[in-house]
């Protein structure tokens, strides 16, 4: 199989974890290239549930190398905890198969504190972040003040960087009415984790090159979704990294020409956690139905996810931004039982019909969706194993999404388990 990038085509939680796990047998290595433990990727195998935040979702397949690229922001405490939890379940997370880029930036306790303090201070304009310190860590990366994974081999350097950082961060925390952090307490958290993580440090770019040279193929596991991208998403209600497929190259250290297939993961309806515009959001009984039937609670924060109809405008833009070659459509089973299913095909914006989202700040908050209504289907589809097993109306819905997005649907997921999948 050629190299494949997995991206969420909506606002995250599309089911990327399930699809990465599903496609993992065909590849040699899985690498995360952006985001951090704001992500929560669920994999269910034989009824057993695993939620991965930092470790690639290929980890459940023996023999696959799992890598955390330079573009990821890593909370060392969270990574160690995740390793422990998997090890306790018999999963090999040894340095031979789980590798962390020397160049990945570390989320420090002051990043978490600042993220939470800012959100608490914002009230109305709250982004609704996961509070994991993602934004402040990326700020320090851009500001050239970050602590990187390679620094774990040089504790005196970390000590220096922490002292310098706290001068500034403590002043900021004071501004938000928060107590200062003590350098020794910060170091006391980091130092014991260093010994654990140093054996996992690797030149991820070279590892990927070696994997390809040996004839292997690579999967790039995106986190969040295209419309949470710091540039292309619904700014400022976005995350702090580029989530588009192009960042797989920069965030893992591989040439863009090495990205072959791009699978866009699309939920059969739309969800969003946190604040920000959501044109097809349903604040009614149908929204509640999707939320309950889809068990739409955040895999990281446990927050209730906002739910709404499928939005082809959002999908179309994701296809354009990422070069999506094919779609994996998830949670189709959740739509079963609805009499009618709506799909947003365009937006009305300032008297004009738009095929793509308006590009100005919060433009998406001022659009009116144009809907097309399709017939629904009754009965459960959770056991459908072949395309022919799906009701006619479900196949029609998928066909219409293909027309609207302009790319084929190659995978249909009809339940959370690895086995509940139709490959076309
Ligand atoms: P990710 O962040 O994109 O990996 O997605 P999450 O794991 O946050 O959320 C997706 C949720 O949907 C998880 O609880 C999955 O177990 C579940 N899921 C994935 N595919 C399906 C499906 O086809 N049907 C149902 N009912 N649940 C699914
Ligand atoms: P996965 O990979 C859904 C959202 C947060 C918030 C915004 C910014 O599981 O799909 P941040 O903590 O990143 O600064 O928060 O982004 N967000 C996600 N929403 N799925 C995710 O990841 C998300 N990661 C961040 O809710 O609105
Ligand atoms: Mg998730």
Q: Please write the tens of the pLDDT for every residue from 130-144.
A: 999 999 999 999 999
Place of tokens 């170091």: 187
- At 381, is the secondary structure helix, strand, or coil? coil
Round the average pLDDT of the chain to a whole number and report it.
97
What does the block give as tokens for 92? Answer: 């090999």
Output the CA 160–ligand 3 centroid distance in Å: 35
Please give the Cα distance from 424 to 416 (Å, whole number): 18
Index of the ligand 1 atom closest to the CA of residue 421? 23
Q: Which of 13, 15, 289, 398 to mutate to test the pocket of ligand 1 (most atoms within 8 A of CB)?
A: 15
The residue whose CA is least distant from atom 21 of ligand 2 is 224
Within 10 angstroms of residue 197's Cβ, the number of other Cβ atoms is 20
Question: 243 near 226, Cβ under 8 Å?
Answer: yes
Within 10 angstroms of residue 281's Cβ, the number of other Cβ atoms is 17
Output the CA 14–ligand 1 centroid distance in Å: 6
Residue 125 has a pLDDT of 82
Q: What is the DSSP letter of 189?
A: H
Q: How would DSSP label each residue in 268-298? A: SSEEE-SSS--TTB--SHHHHHHHHHTT-B-
Kindly report, residue by residue over 161-206, the tens digit of the pLDDT: 999 999 999 999 999 999 999 999 999 999 999 999 999 999 999 9
Query: What lines the ligand 2 site, CB under 6 Å?
Result: 8, 12-13, 38-41, 127-130, 132, 134-135, 223-225, 228, 239-240, 273-274, 299
Please give the Cα distance from 357 to 3 (Å, whole number): 30
Q: Which of 18, 44, 228 to mutate to test the pocket of ligand 1 (most atoms within 8 A of CB)?
A: 18
Whether the model pTM is above 0.95: yes
Place of tokens 């459509």: 329
Catalytic residues: 13, 41
In this structure, what are the phi and psi dihedrals at residue 193, rounded to the nearest 5 degrees?
-75, -25
Which residues of the chain fall below pLDDT 50? none
Q: Which of 228, 235, 298 to mutate to test the pocket of ligand 2 (most atoms within 8 A of CB)?
A: 228
Output the CA 107–ligand 1 centroid distance in Å: 26
Place of tokens 């199989």: 1
- At 35, is the secondary structure helix, strand, or coil? coil
Query: What lines the ligand 1 site, CB under 6 Å?
Result: 8, 12-18, 40-42, 44, 299, 330-331, 333-334, 413-416
Scored b (16 or more CB within 10 A) or e, 92-129 reads: ebeeebbbbbbbbbbbbbbbbbbbbbbbeeeeeeebeb
DSSP E strand boundaries for 253-378: 261-267, 270-272, 306-308, 310-311, 326-330, 340-349, 352-354, 368-375
Place of tokens 């089911």: 15
Residue 46 has a pLDDT of 86
Residue 423 has a pLDDT of 97
What does the block give as tokens for 223? Answer: 């986190």
In sign, the C-alpha dihedral spanning 262, 133, 43, 71 is: positive
Index of the ligand 2 atom closest to the CA of residue 228? 16
How far lies 393's CA from each of 157, 224, 377, 424, in Å? 61, 30, 6, 17
The residue whose CA is least distant from atom 21 of ligand 1 is 416
Residue 300 has a pLDDT of 85
Question: What angle, rounded to 10 degrees, do the helices at 392-405 and 312-322 form?
Answer: 50
How far lies 240's CA from each of 70, 154, 228, in Å? 15, 27, 8
Output the CA 12–ligand 3 centroid distance in Å: 6
């Amino acid at each position: 199989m050629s190299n494949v990038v997995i991206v969420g085509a909506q606002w995250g939680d599309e089911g990327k974890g399930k699809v990465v796990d599903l496609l993992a047998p065909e590849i040699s290595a899985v690498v995360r290239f952006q985001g951090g433990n704001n992500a929560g990727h669920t994999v269910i195998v034989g009824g057993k549930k695993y939620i991965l935040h930092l470790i690639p979702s290929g980890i459940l397949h023996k023999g696959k190398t799992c890598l955390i690229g330079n573009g990821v922001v890593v909370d060392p405490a969270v990574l160690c905890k995740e390793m422990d939890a998997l090890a306790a379940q018999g999963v090999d997370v040894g340095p031979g198969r789980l590798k962390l880029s020397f160049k990945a930036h570390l989320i420090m306790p002051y990043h978490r504190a600042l993220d939470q303090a800012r959100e608490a201070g914002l009230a109305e304009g709250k982004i609704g972040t996961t509070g994991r310190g993602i934004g402040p860590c990326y700020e320090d990366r851009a500001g050239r003040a970050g602590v990187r994974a390679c620094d774990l081999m040089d504790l005196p350097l970390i000590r220096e960087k922490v002292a310098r950082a706290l001068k500034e961060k403590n002043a900021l925390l004071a501004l938000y009415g928060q107590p200062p952090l003590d350098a020794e307490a910060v170091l006391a958290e980091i130092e014991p984790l260093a010994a654990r993580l140093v054996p996992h440090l690797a030149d991820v770019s070279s590892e990927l090159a070696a994997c390809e040279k040996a004839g292997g193929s690579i999967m790039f596991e995106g986190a969040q979704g295209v419309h949470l991208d710091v540039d292309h998403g619904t700014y400022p209600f976005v995350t702090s990294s580029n989530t588009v497929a192009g960042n797989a190259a920069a965030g893992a250290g591989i040439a863009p020409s090495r990205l072959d297939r791009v699978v866009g993961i699309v939920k059969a309806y739309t969800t969003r956690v946190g604040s920000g515009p959501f044109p097809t959001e349903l604040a009614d009984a149908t929204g509640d139905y999707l939320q309950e039937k889809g068990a739409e609670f955040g895999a990281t924060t446990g927050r209730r996810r906002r739910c709404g109809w499928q939005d082809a405008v959002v999908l179309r833009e994701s296809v354009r931004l990422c070069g999506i070659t094919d779609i994996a459509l998830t949670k189709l089973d959740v739509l079963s039982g609805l009499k009618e299913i709506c799909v947003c095909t365009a937006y009305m914006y300032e008297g004009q019909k738009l095929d793509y989202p308006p590009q100005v700040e919060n433009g998406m908050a001022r659009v009116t969706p144009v809907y097309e209504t399709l017939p629904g289907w009754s009965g459960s589809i959770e056991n459908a194993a072949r395309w022919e097993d799906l009701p006619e109306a479900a196949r029609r819905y998928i066909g219409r999404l293909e027309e609207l997005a302009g790319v084929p649907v190659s995978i249909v997921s009809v339940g959370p388990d690895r086995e509940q999948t139709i490959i076309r």
